[in-house]
Amino acid sequence: MTTTSPETQRRKTSLFGWLHRHPRVKLGALLIAPTGWFGIVYFGSLALLFSYAFWSLDPQTGEVVKQFTLANFERILTQPVYGAIVFRTVGVAAIVTVVDALIAFPIAYYMARVASPRRRALLFMSILLPLWASYLVKIYAWRVILAPNGLFDWGFKQFGFDQFGDIFGVSDLSMTVVFIYIWLPYMILPIYAGLERIPTSYLEASADLGAKGGPTFRRIVLPLAMPALVAGSIFTFSLTLGDYIIPALVSNTQFIGNVVYESQGVAGDIPFAAAFALVPVGIMAIYLLVARHFGAFDEL
Amino acid sequence: MSRILLRVATGLTLGFLYLPLVVIGLYAFNAQRVQIWPIQEYSLKWFGEAFASTSVRDAFVLSVTVGLEATLLALLLGSLVSLAVHRFRFFGRGVLSLALVLPIALPGIITGMALNASFHNFGVPFGTLTIVVGHATFCVVVVYNNVIARLRRSSHSIEEASMDLGADTWQTFRHVTFPVLRTAIIAAALLAFALSFDEVIVTTFTAGTQETIPIWILNHLRLPNQRPIVNVVALGLILLSVIPVYFAQRLSSDTTGAAVVNR
């Protein structure tokens, strides 16, 4: 307990009393710092990123020319290499999303509908910890596991498959495996939450009406879990679209993220990097519109 | 039958989730410089080398500094927003809570690139300050989620009772509201620190030439003779990103899940 003189105590009391009688001022005091931060620093930066996308780089001086131009977008649309990169990124994001949904569903179902409450809490924690465990270290660990003479190579050699190191190692296949691994918990948790919310009476009613496990799953569980599945897919899809560390560490191919990173870093072309960074934003905007159609936002 | 299959699938999935963590943990004790499986000989010698490395120590100090500063900023901003959103109805309330989620809902390159363009445009030199600004921006939502969840579950009537008994706004906050929020705030601080300590994507756009621990790993993992030290630092980073989450979950079990799913 700190000792305050009666004088400061009285002044403090009168200030807070005054605030209590003027709730709008109190609200303003609460909001000024956070809205300043998000309104000015964050949204200001996003707005600036958007403007940069319509500016250009003077090839002679390397300075940014702040004049409206569509040159960056023209370059993205007309040079086939960028189209191929976008197409590849979206393709891998789609594969990762589908595979993650397939792996996540059984464990989420077990947690939500089969496991005892004690075991459920334990499983929840068991998924939480690898989710939070360092993102970069997990990728690095997979690089080590998939490398020639690594754990996978050794494991396959035990069964006589000697060419394994050539298939994995640094490759698109390895990259896909690592993407599937990294975003898997982000799919498990929403599906688990969605399945847990299905009332048991629905399943009992379905059984009472003569439906076996299969039809109940197809016609009751799956439709009710759909919004949760789509919610999970927002994470896996969006996070894959924007990632550049995984392609850089376990594959040799270019992703949207790598182009953005290298344009601003190596090439110093911030206008082009900004324009290319808007590509995943546009794709996600379309994806979110479709997801809203499935009611996925109620699950977030 | 189907229950057995579910159990098997659950076990396999858990094995998949833990495999890389276990493998890197073992390699940290690998006596050899080359990384061949199975590990021939175990040793603690690389831990000494990692502790002795000045670049690792500098990166560690920077990561802790950034983590603490970003956490403090996030605690302040996140608590203020959650009190405002919980207590008041005001214009733009929905937009504000959406704005908080955006830095982690959008891919990291967007936030990173936006801040990078901003710093570049206004001539802000890249350094510790720019890293902290980036980290605080995406840590606010973790604090907001934790604190608002606690506020929603706690009853407003105890505050009214406090006021009725003659306490003023400050005394009510100090003796009633804050004690209710305390564990949620501590849990939020642990999560925000863990999030900041581990972040790499936004940091690569805001750090300039500075090295946080994840950036240090990123810069050294391709150098064969540095690998044993990278393994030790990697094990340390796993522990430092997981231990705070474990305690946060114990302190505030109902909110960590939400914070994570929104991560």
How far, in Å, CA of A85 to CA of A70, rounded? 20
How far, in Å, CA of A215 to CA of A45, rounded? 51
Task: Give the pLDDT score at B254.
Answer: 52
Q: Does B39 touch chain A (CB under 8 A)?
A: no
Enumerate the domain spans of chain A: 6-42, 80-299
Q: Does B16 touch chain A (CB under 8 A)?
A: yes
Model confidence at B257, in pLDDT bands (50, 70, 90)?
very low
> Nearest CA to CA, how far is B181 from chain A (Å)?
16
Q: Give contacts of A 133-172 with B, CB under 8 A.
A: 133-138, 140-145, 147, 149-151, 153-154
Helix, strand and coil content of chain B, in percent to the nearest 5, comes to 80, 0, 20
How far, in Å, CA of B117 to CA of A66, rounded? 13
> Nearest CA to CA, how far is A252 from chain B (Å)?
14
Task: Give the pLDDT score at B100.
Answer: 86
List the single residue in A41, A128, A280 with the smallest CB-CB distance to B249.
A128
How far, in Å, CA of A1 to CA of A243, rounded? 50
Q: Give contacts of B 46-75 with A, CB under 8 A.
A: none
Q: Whats the size of chain B, residue-wise?
A: 263
In this structure, is residue B36 part of a structural domain?
Answer: no
> Nearest CA to CA, how far is A230 from chain B (Å)?
13
Q: pLDDT tens digits, residue range A107-158?
A: 999 999 899 999 998 999 999 999 999 999 999 999 999 988 888 888 888 8
CATH architecture of the domain with residue range A80-299: Orthogonal Bundle (1.10)
Q: Cis before residue A199, ω within 30 degrees of 0?
A: no
- Binary contact (B114, A126; C-beta < 8 A): no
Q: Does B120 touch chain A (CB under 8 A)?
A: yes
Q: Does B129 touch chain A (CB under 8 A)?
A: no
The ipTM is: 0.88
Best to test chain B binding among A1, A40, A45, A138 (most B CBs inside 10 Å):
A45
Query: Which residues of A are less than 8 Å from B83 in CB distance?
Result: 30
Mean pLDDT of chain B: 88
Q: What is the mean pLDDT of residues B184-195?
A: 93
Closest of B101, B109, B103 to residue A279, by C-alpha = B109
In this structure, is residue B12 part of a structural domain?
Answer: no
Task: Give the pLDDT score at A4.
Answer: 54
Q: pLDDT tens digits, residue range A19-42?
A: 777 888 888 888 889 888 888 899
- Binary contact (B140, A34; C-beta < 8 A): yes
Model confidence at B259, in pLDDT bands (50, 70, 90)?
very low
How far, in Å, CA of A261 to CA of A244, rounded? 8
Query: Which residues of B are less than 8 Å from A52 in CB distance?
Result: 117, 121
Q: Does B116 touch chain A (CB under 8 A)?
A: yes
> Nearest CA to CA, how far is A16 from chain B (Å)?
6
Q: Does A49 touch chain B (CB under 8 A)?
A: yes
The domain total for chain B is: 1
- DSSP output for B11-56: HHHHHHHHHHHHHHHHHTTB-SSS--SSP--B-SHHHHHHHH-HHH
In this structure, is residue B185 part of a structural domain?
Answer: yes
In this structure, is residue B139 part of a structural domain?
Answer: yes
Structural domain including B234 reads 43-261
- Binary contact (B9, A110; C-beta < 8 A): yes
List the single residue in A13, A37, A107 with the smallest CB-CB distance to B9.
A107
CA angle centred on A186, ends B219 and B253, rounded to 5°: 105
Q: Does B81 touch chain A (CB under 8 A)?
A: yes
In this structure, is residue B32 part of a structural domain?
Answer: no
Model confidence at B1, in pLDDT bands (50, 70, 90)?
low
Q: Does B208 touch chain A (CB under 8 A)?
A: no
Between A56-60, A129-133, A251-255, B63-67, the lowest mean confidence (pLDDT) is in A56-60
> How many whole angstroms from its chain centre is CA B189?
9
Q: pLDDT tens digits, residue range A210-231?
A: 888 788 888 888 888 888 898 8
**What CATH code is carried by the domain that includes residue B57?**
1.10.3720.10
- Binary contact (B37, A243; C-beta < 8 A): no
Q: pLDDT tens digits, residue range A81-114?
A: 999 999 999 999 999 999 999 999 999 999 998 9
Q: pLDDT tens digits, residue range B83-132?
A: 998 888 888 887 887 788 888 878 888 899 899 989 988 999 999 999 99
Q: Does A267 touch chain B (CB under 8 A)?
A: no
Q: Does B147 touch chain A (CB under 8 A)?
A: no
Task: Give the pLDDT score at B26.
Answer: 93
Please name the residue ranges forming H helices in chain A.
Answer: 6-21, 23-35, 43-52, 71-78, 80-109, 117-132, 135-146, 151-158, 164-167, 172-196, 200-208, 213-216, 222-242, 245-250, 256-265, 270-293
- Binary contact (A48, B118; C-beta < 8 A): yes
How far, in Å, CA of B201 to CA of B181, rounded? 31
| DSSP reduced 3-state for B167 | coil
Task: Yes or no: say if B146 and B249 are a contact pair by the CB < 8 Å rule.
Answer: no
